[in-house]
Amino acid sequence: MVAVEVENVTKRFRRQTVQPSTTLKTAFMDFLLQRRRRHSDSTFQALQDISFTVQTGRTLGIIGRNGSGKSTLLKLIAGIYRPDDGRIAVHGKVGALLELGAGFHPEFTGRENVLINGIVLGLSKREIRKRFDAIVHFAELEAFIDEPVKTYSSGMYMRLGFSVAIHADPEILLIDEIMAVGDEAFHQKCLDKMAELRSQKKTIIVVSHDLSAVERWSDEALWLEDGTVREHGLPQKIIDHYRQGVASQEARMANAHQPQTVDHAREAAPMMTGLGRSRDVEVVSATMLDSSGTERYAYHSGESVSLRLHYQVRRAVEEPIFGFALFRDDGLQCYGSDTAIDGATLPSLGQEGIIEVLLERLDLLEGTYYLDVTVQAADGHPYDRHHRLCSFTITCDRQGVGVFRVPHRWSMKPLSSVSRQPVIADVSGTSTRASIADLRQR
């Protein structure tokens, strides 16, 4: 059975090109020129020819960049907006968690706002009174429910709004980037409630930038781009394609902003403190290449990267040492090495050449990073050095704390309180252990 049908939906908004009136004279002139002003207004399409269906009991995750039309689509399904073209059919009671507490009045108490918000969400007064204690208990606001909500913290405000919305018992739940409600403990409570709603076969449509959450929670995913459906299908496949698209776009943008020569980088960044550079050996350019040899400056954590340094020799030197360092955007050095540390023996440099170092796995966490390069003598005298020669970005589908992600996995081997032998769990979830009789025989 279909819960939500969206067929060839287009939504336009009017973009005002005239400044609002600020004086009586300008208001009068605007009134006289109202017809001309109306024709001077322009429109833009937030959504164009959108079509999809959601089956009852399924969870649809909607992903896309900011401005792609995700929130507009949810508001159309909720009935807040009307489509300019196409049709939307919703079969069931809708609960929309779009802007938590949007209907709250700051001067009214929490108790009064629960009543008002519940009626807005379609509950009767009797139903609200019946669920009131559960709403307040879930929001953890027993001690503050009779205080004006203007005295609430933002977390309290959002907890109450979330609690009212989920206790309205909707058949179709629309969620727009509001799952990170409250502190960690309350956030987990919200996730548990979502799991309960899914087990009750509620239809859920969720918009989120948390791709791992979309992949974990959704039965299918919809990728919106510039107001159109780019792809619709299984979450893992759609999210992989979305990441590839974002990485390609960021790479193109990063490439456009990379300095053409290191002279540009010298002008953009101050000379590092210490001994002056003789420039007997100069690094004239640095590029980053992916595993296919394509120049890129946006990577997914764990990819291999080649750093290619193009050098020129102004004056012959003996045993120069080439080095590199990776810095996070806040200045923290993440890693660095050079040919001396790694024991790499370099042949004669000649007048010009390429030094390349392969980073087999770039296991950095998500963020923006910078590359420093140096050429120096064995005694540390710098021939050339460049600070923040180029920047690159890392995306990561798993969260972590720190700088880099160490590949790892978890395991558990509980011990029997009697035998102290490992409990071995089979695929069915049962366990086997040595019996007391077996132990006695041993």
Say if strands 220-225 and 367-376 run parallel, antiparallel, or are unpaired.
Answer: unpaired
Burial class for 87, CB neighbours closer than 10 Å (0-12, 13-18, 19+): exposed
Strands 367-376 and 382-395: antiparallel
**Cα 97–Cα 99–Cα 100 angle in degrees, nearest 5:** 75
Q: At what angle do helices 110-120 and 154-166 cross, to 10 degrees?
A: 40
Q: Which CATH number fits domain 2-234: 2.60.40.1480, 3.30.70.260, 3.10.20.30, 3.40.50.300?
A: 3.40.50.300
Q: Are 334 and 404 in contact (CB under 8 A)?
A: yes
Express the helix, strand and coil content of the chain in percent, nearest 5 each.
30, 30, 40
Q: Give the chain's residues under pLDDT 70.
A: 16-22, 24-41, 99-103, 178-183, 247-248, 250-277, 416-442
Q: Phi then psi for 210, rounded to 5 degrees?
A: -85, 95
CB 304 within 8 A of CB 290: yes
Alpha-carbon distance of 303 to 204, in angstroms, equals 34
What are the φ and ψ backbone dihedral angles of 375, each rounded to 5 degrees? -135, 125
The pLDDT value recorded for residue 104 is: 81
In the chain, where the domains are located: 2-234, 258-395, 411-442
- Rounded to whole angstroms, the Cα distance separating 13 from 201 reads 35
Nearest residue to 100 via CA among 50, 174, 170: 174
93 three-state secondary structure: coil
CB under 8 A, 24+ apart: contacts of 366-369:
366/301, 366/394, 366/395, 366/396, 367/328, 367/329, 367/393, 367/394, 368/328, 368/329, 368/392, 368/393, 368/394, 369/326, 369/327, 369/328, 369/329, 369/334, 369/393, 369/394
Query: For residue range 56-84, what is the model confidence (pLDDT) as tens digits?
Result: 999 999 999 888 999 999 999 988 899 99
pLDDT at site 128: 92
How do 333-338 and 220-225 pair as beta strands? Answer: unpaired
DSSP, res 180: -
Task: Give the pLDDT of residue 181.
Answer: 59
Measure the CA–CA gap between 387 and 39, rounded to whole angstroms.
53
DSSP run (H or E) holding 395: strand 382-395
Which amino acid is present at 401?
A: V
For domain 258-395, the CATH class is mainly beta
Backbone angles phi, psi at 191, to 5 degrees: -65, -40
